[in-house]
Every structure is written in C-alpha cells, then in structure tokens.
Structure 1
Amino acid sequence: MTIARLESYDDFLRVHFTAAKAPHHADFHWFWLRHNSELDRHPITRERIVCSSELPLELRPRLVRISEDATALDIDWGDRADGKVSRYEANWLRTHAYAADRAAAPVPPSDVDSITVDFARADEPPGRLALRTLEHTGALIVRGFGTDTEALIETFTREGLSVIETHFGRIEDLRTDNTTNRNTDQLGYTDSAIQLHTDQPFLERPPRYQLLHCQRPADTGGDNAVVDALAAAHHLADIDRPAFDLLRTVPVTFHRKQKSFERVLVSPLLDFDAPGGFRIRYSYFTLAPHRRPFSEMEAWYRAYNRFARLVRDERHQYRFHLGAGDFLVYDNWRMLHARTAFTGSRWVRGVYFDAA
C-alpha cells in the first residue's frame, strides 16, 4: 500500500491511495492527525502521554509530504524544538480511515468571470439573461448597460417581474447626499463598509431579487462582494452538521428600528422549506440580542461564527468593482452581498423585484 498524492484543505487532509480496491482516498482532520501522532506516546509503553484537550483545535501543519518510498505520510507540526515530524504509515491510515471515499461538498464559488457578461456582446435582453442564469448562479454582473435605470427596469418587467416598493421607496439612491428616499437613517446611505447580509430579513417575504445599478463609482473603495449562501450551507452541513442543524432550527429575531420605521420578525437563518425554495435571512446589523437557554448559548455562537467565517473568507466570495453603467442583479433569498468603505460621491441605484 502506498500513497499516490495529497490534497490539503483548511480543516483536513485528503490522502489518495494507490489501491485496487476501496477506499481510494480518505479525509483526516488535522486535529485528528495531531492527536494520533506517534510523537505523543511513551517511548517504552507506547501509550499516549498527551490528552487531546492539551492541543489547540486550530492547529495546522507547517509541512506535509509523502515519504520517499510513498509508504508513509510525514507531517511537521512546527511545534517541536527537536524538529521531529509525525509519521503515519499508509496501511495504518487506510485501516483507521473514518471518512473513506468521502465526497466533499465544495466551498462557495469565487470565479467572478463566470457570472459576468458584457452587455454589448449579450445576445438577449438583460432581464431575460438574468432570469435564465440566476437559477444556476444566484448572481449576474452586466458591464456597460448605461445609466438609464428606468430603461433597465423595463427590461425586467417585460420578463414578468414587478418592482417591489419598500419603506425606502421605489428606487433607492444609495449615496451619502441622498434627498430622494425615505428612511435613510441606515448604513446603505453612508460611506461605511457593509459586511455580508441579505436585505429586508425582517419581512415575512423579503423581495426575491435586487438590482444594484452603478451611476457613479467611488473615488476609492466601494467594491462589491456576493456569496452563494446555498453553497455555503451545503458545505457547512458537510463539515459541521451540528452547526448546520442549529442554523436551520434555532429562531433568531431580526429587528429593524429606524426613526420612522420598525419591524420585527423571528425566523431561523436557514430555511430549506420556505415557499419558493431555499431562503437565508442573514443581517448582523438588524439582529436583536440572542435569547437562548444558558446551556445552549455558547453552542449557538460557535455555530453562527463557523458559518460567518466560512462566508467572510474572501476565497469564497465573488469580488468585483462596478463602473458607471454596470449593474449587479442577485437572488436575495440565496446570495449574501457586501461592499467596502469608500471615499467620494459614489452613487448606486437599488431596485427590488419579485414575480408579478
């Protein structure tokens, strides 16, 4: 039995074996490997001399390599003064494989080119193109449409969508000198960074789609990011099922309170049974204080933070900059969106849509 190759991930190592029969590969958490290192056994009795509680859960190796004869795996944990490495024989790994031939759920995609089209080269109206692609990608960026927002709205209404007016109005002019909208006492009308969130989570039925149409980019900053929360949820279920189950079952309170508007809604973050399909509600700035039993509060925060770290990792985000005339349209039930802080007179128009 030999090792053919390795694949390193944030939380685990995938070992591919040169075996004619299953398993052909197996996944091992870094912590499991560290806990089972032969370096932590008594030299005479071969009993463990280190308890797992003495090891940091976030421990990651400094170096991982296959031995010269490919019969073993060597890991340098970078925590030993004598420079010794942990060795794991291929046969031992195969015998103790607890995740043999595991098919891992992928992390959220990040190739922004895969969701970007040039309006001048598109062979169909942007509204039709968006509806055709959003089901698969969750988001679409169109470059070079122009700055006529009413004309852009018309392309979506021709495809059977209706503009959804909210407590901000029909069209949001997201700019620091806004004079056209109601209830502008919220982050969207400032130059501050806004971390990942969904819009209107405090409504029983949040608008399905949002259009962000750039009229004028910022002098500096103002970049956008979107994350496929459906892919993130599937990935979380694959790597941490208890955390996924908590996000799917624990109700949280969303509370939007402004000078002239207030709304409260209680719901889990992840809803796979919502009418119309998957729906995520995720908005750190409208979350009310969590109320969980004392014995469950830390577990809840661990689950929530695990998901937050997953989606806030830039490797799992579509990141891009909108120029004048470009627009982003995304599925607000599936995607999270964010922007960076900016300087200058950035102006983006926001419109919500839903099925007519």
Structure 2
Amino acid sequence: MSSPALPRRALPIGRLRTPSYSVQARPVANQWPLFHQALPSLRVNRSFTTSRQLKSDSAAPDTEPQEPGIDLPRMEKFVEQLQPELRSDQFRPRDLETKYLETILPKDKVAKMVETTASTAQLRRELDNIHRVYHLSKHIARDPLSVPLSLPRPWVSNFKVQIEDGRVSMNGIEIPNIWLRDNCQCSSCMHADTKQRLLDTFDISADVSITSHENTPDGIRLTWSDGHTSEYTNRFIGRSTAPAKKRVGNRIGLADSLTLWDSSIASFPPIIGYSHLASKKSESATAALKGLLSNIRRFGFSYIDGVPADPRTTKSLLERIAFIRTTHYGGFYDFTADLASKDTAYTNIALGAHTDNTYFSDPAGLQAFHLLSHTDGSGGASLLVDGFKIAQDLKAQDRDAYEILSLVMVHAHASGNQGISIQPYRGFPVLQHDLETGYLLQLRWNTSDRARIELPIDQVGKWYDAARKWDALVKKKENEYWEQLRPGRVLIFDNWRVMHGRSAFTGKRRICGGYINRDDWISKFKILRDGQESVLEHLATD
C-alpha cells in the first residue's frame, strides 16, 4: 500500500513512520483532547517501531513502559480514505479525530465526548484568564491600586542604628553589607557634584565584612574588610528601611496634595501671571515657576495669563521648564488646521477627551497650547477632564472594571504620515500604577489611536465593558470643563493625568505649543520644591 502524502496540519497522531510521511501516533492532550479522552476505551497496540513492524500484544515488555498508541494499519487505511477531505481548506484537525473515533466507538459516545471536551476547553480558558490576572496583579503592584491624593508624611524613625555580629540593622531590619559598602557616600566612592558612583560595585567582595565600627553624633562609622571607611547618618539608614509609600512619593514627585476636580473648577482655575515668570528678579521668577509647576502637579493644569501672543515668547516660556520634546511632528509647533501632519488635531472637527502620545513608549509629560489668533469663525472651545478623578469614580463604582483597565495591555499607533508607523515596544494599560505602592501614575486614553487589545479574542468583551463604563464617566457633563482659549493665555497640562479635547470650529485658528518630557518637568518640580541637596540625598533610598 502506498503511503499517502499527509498535510502538515494533520500530523499529530503518533510515531508512525513510512518512507514518505511521519505521523504523530501518540495522542497529545492539549492538541487532541478527544483521543486523550478515548484512549482507555481503545484496543491499541502497546509499542511499535513502524506500521510494518508491529509487536504483538504477547511480546515481552520493554525495559521502559511504552505509552499506548493507535491501531496503525487501521489508521493508515483511514487516513488514505480521507485524503480528499484532508486537502480541503475547510478541514480541521478536530474533524479527523471525530471521524476516526466514530469508526471504533458508538457515535453517541463520540458526540458526548465532543461536548465534554468543549466545556473543558472553555473552563480551561477561564482558569487561564484567572491565572493571568492573578499573575499580572502580583507583578503590577504590591499594594492595592489607588489614586494618591497626598504626599505621605516624611518617614521619621525613632530607632537608632544597631550593629551586632558584624551586621547593621534598624527597627529589626537587617541591611546587607554589600548594599552599605556600595552606597558609601564619601567623595572617593560617590562624585560630590553629580552623585554618580565612582567605585566599581563588582570589585567589592561579595562577602565584604565590617572589621570595626563606632558611633558618631548623627549615625555610625564603619571600617570594611577592604580597608575603606564609610559614614552613614541615622536618617540615611532609616530611609532605607522605611515603607515604600513613605519613600516613593518623593521619587515620583507627588504634590503635597492632589485636588481632583470637575466642571466646577471653571469658577477657580489655577492661574499664574506671566509678569511674575518674566520678572528680572531671579528669586521672583523662580518662585513663580515653582508656583506654576505646583499648580500643574496639584490640579493637572495651569494657565499663564498675560503672555505676548507670539510663538517666540511662548517657546521661551516652555523652555523655562525644560527642553521641548521633538517628535515626528517636529519640536515646538505653530500650526493651522491644514492636516499638514495627518492627524485629526490638525483639522477643525470636534475631538473627544483623550491623552496624547499613547503610541509612544514614553508619552509626553506636559503639553502646551497658546491660541495666537482665530479669525472669520467661531467655536473651538477647549475641553479638559481630570483623568484621576474619573479613575477614582470608576473604582468606587465598579472595582472590577478599574482593575481590568489597570491590567489589560492595549496597543496604539501613529500611522498618518507617509513612511511612518509608530508603535510602542509593548502594550500598556489604560491606567498605569507604580509597582511598589500601587499609586496611579499615568493615564493612556485615545480610542482613535488604539490598536490591538492584548486579550484572547473570546475575552476582549470584558475590556470593552470596562472601557464603556470609563467612557461614560469621561463624557458626563459634570466632569467636563470647557474654556475658550484666547490670545495671551497659555494652557499647560499634565498629559499623564488630564485628558483634553475641543469643540468643532469654523474660520482660521493659529495655535502654537509643544511637548515636554515627563522626567524633565518632574525633575524641575522636585528641585524647586525640595532643593537640589535634598533630592540628591535620597537617590539611594527613594
């Protein structure tokens, strides 16, 4: 009997080898569940080498037990008869399973097995999803997900450093010698100005030890087995053992307090006068810049009033904060509604509330708009929505929906311009939290730029259900703050927190503005609020 040429997709039925094809005769549970289920009922040969050299059931057992196979001559004949169907584009491997089993088992039993297998597969998918969510939740945040409304009070330790048996501890927490030696703050180990490490960490012996120690007025002095001497303050040691929520707030630049807002903020929007920022007195200008960034950190946005309506002054204002970010749109922008950059922002149509740059792995931190002119038309009111307030409302309304938007990865893209298709290196959730504390850090919401939802196709409905609830809150009138921009008033907002949009307009509008990186503006905010020395002091512990 000539051996038929078997399509590749029909190859999972055991170790059948002939000159022209090889078929897997050993059932695999995840690929061939019906065979796996039927195996105990089948009369099978216990071991074999090829279809021509079957061992008899009475043959002496092999040294190693053999898994049961299928009656290979019967299978060869069966496969040969099915050749027309196997070559069909509509053929499914499950059909081969079912048809073969119907030749050796009653049809009603096979039908029941098919039904049971389908139920089992569905259950397995649900269990896999539960495991996936559990696994993600363990790695996304150690603490419950939350919106941080205030900066935790500074950690104050009432304990002193203790040394026993060559080990340093505080409050019962032992601090490894390698970490202490690696974080020596002396000028030989750490550059005094840049706070960059000067020693090679991996030149330190893995079992470096303390040879002597003594107390100082503010902490301890240690002499190491490599001959080096280090000093550490009680404050430094204490912060290294502090709870994450007491430390992380400084690192991520939390405001002393966050104010969540709705449409009522129209009565008291945060505003800074440009004259203060442009003051020739450096102290006054610095204080005004600190006030501007504090407004943005607290409310998510701020206006600057009295700015000359020209691009040069606006650009100079943004550069007081940090460098202007360059993207595929360019750097500082000055545009009209001409669709020059192939994005709906460059049209006159209405735009719903969204965040920008969801298609970047690192979206811009700040965005600025300055309406320079609007002639021969009307409309174009600006919309702002506090994303952190929406997150807080959603969590109170439906915690499951909040967690789905915090766990499910969503992809995005920017593909409007010829020769460009920007996509981040992975998907990101709508709500992104700090890994240590569970604090909400970033919002990504732009349904126009959304691409794949990182869920099995039969489970994406859960994301849509959660996103629909989010969208309904975003579109509630009481959550929308509308304001008509005008020449002389610059709007700067936190793109990681505040969603923006606009109403449709007629006429010709000219707008300038730009993006600033998140890390850059948070750096300036922390330095102005806490001082350079304080920020650098906490690098190793925060």
Judged with a 3 Å threshold, the aligned counterparts in structure 2 of structure 1 residues 260 and 303 are, in CA distance, closer, same or farther, namely same
Which residue in the other structure is 2:419 paired with?
260
Aligned to 2:307: 145
Asked if 1:282 corresponds to 2:445, the answer is yes
Pairs within 5 Å for 1:1-356: 108-110=261-263, 111-117=265-271, 119=273, 125=285, 127-159=289-321, 161-177=322-338, 184-217=341-374, 219-258=377-416, 259-265=418-424, 266-273=427-434, 278-290=441-453, 292-354=455-517, 355=520
2: CA distance, partners of 1:107 / 1:308: 18
- Structure-2 separation of matches of 1:277 and 1:208: 15
- Cα distance, 1:323 vs structure 2: 0.9
How far off is 1:232 after superposition?
1.1
Q: Greater CA deviation, 275-284 or 133-142?
A: 275-284
> How many Å apart are 1:310 and its aligned residue?
0.5
1:34-86 deviation line (CA, Å, top 9, x unaligned): xxxxxxxxxxxxxxxxxxxxxxxxxxxxxxxxxxxxxxxxxxxxxxxxxxxxx
Which structure is larger by alpha-carbon Rg, 1 or 2? Answer: 2
Between the aligned partners of 2:356 and 2:311, the Cα distance in structure 1 is 20
Contact map agreement 2:300 2:498 (CA 8 A) in 1: yes
How big is the shift at 1:128? 3.9
Equivalent residues of 1:130, 1:329 under 8 A apart: no
CA contact (8 A) 1:217 1:322 kept: no
**Amino acid aligned to 1:264:** Q
1:301 and 1:277 map into 2 onto residues whose CA distance is 21
The equivalent residue for 1:98 is: none
C-alpha distance in structure 1 between counterparts of 2:446 and 2:331, whole Å = 22
CA offset digits 1:291-345 (Å, max 9, x no partner): 5335423222111011011012221022100011211100011110001110000
Give the distance between the partners of 1:253 and 1:264, measured in 2 at CA. Answer: 8
Q: Which has the higher contact order (CA 8 A, sep 6+)?
A: 1
Q: Which amino acid aligns with 1:230?
A: F
Structure 1 alignment gaps of length 5 or more: 1-105
Distance 1:165 1:140 in 2: 22
CA 316–154 in structure 1, closer or farther in 2 if over 3 Å, else same: same
The amino acid of 1:144's aligned partner reads G
**Preserved contact between residue 116 and residue 143 of structure 1 (Cα < 8 Å):** no
Note the residue ranges of structure 2 that are not aligned, 5 or more in a row. 1-258, 278-283, 522-542
CA shift, 1:274, in A, is 7.1
Secondary structure class of the residue paired with 1:328: strand
Partner SS for 1:278: strand
**1: CA distance between counterparts of 2:441 and 2:272?**
29
Distance 2:388 2:270 in 1: 20
Distance 1:274 1:331, change over 3 A: farther
- Sequence identity of aligned pairs in percent? 25
The one-letter code sitting in structure 2 at the alignment partner of 1:169 is: G
CA contact under 8 A between 1:128 and 1:156: conserved in structure 2?
Answer: no
SS of corresponding position for 2:348: coil
Maintained 8 Å contact 2:409/2:453: no
- Looking at structure 2, the residues matched to 344 and 256 of structure 1 have their Cα atoms a distance apart, in angstroms, of 27
**Deviation digits for residues 114-163 of structure 1 (CA, Å, limit 9, x no counterpart):** 2243637868656443212111000112333221332233234334x111
- What is the letter of the counterpart of residue 364 of structure 2? P
* Structure 1 residues 274 and 214: CA distance shift in structure 2, 3 A: farther
Greater shift after overlay, 286-295 or 237-246? Answer: 286-295
Q: Distance in 2 between matches of 1:158 and 1:184?
A: 27
Return the alpha-carbon distance in structure 2 between the equivalents of residues 274 and 255 of structure 1: 25
Q: Which amino acid aligns with 1:296?
A: Q
Other structure's SS at 1:217 match: strand
Distance 1:147 1:107 in 2: 30
Structure 2 counterpart of 1:198, one-letter code: T
Aligned residues: 246
Which has the larger strand fraction?
A: 1
Which letter does structure 2 place at the counterpart of 1:119? G
CA distance in structure 2 between the aligned counterparts of 1:252 and 1:221, rounded to whole angstroms: 33
TM-score between the two structures when normalised by the length of structure 2: 0.42
Secondary structure of the residue that 2:352 maps to in structure 1?
A: strand
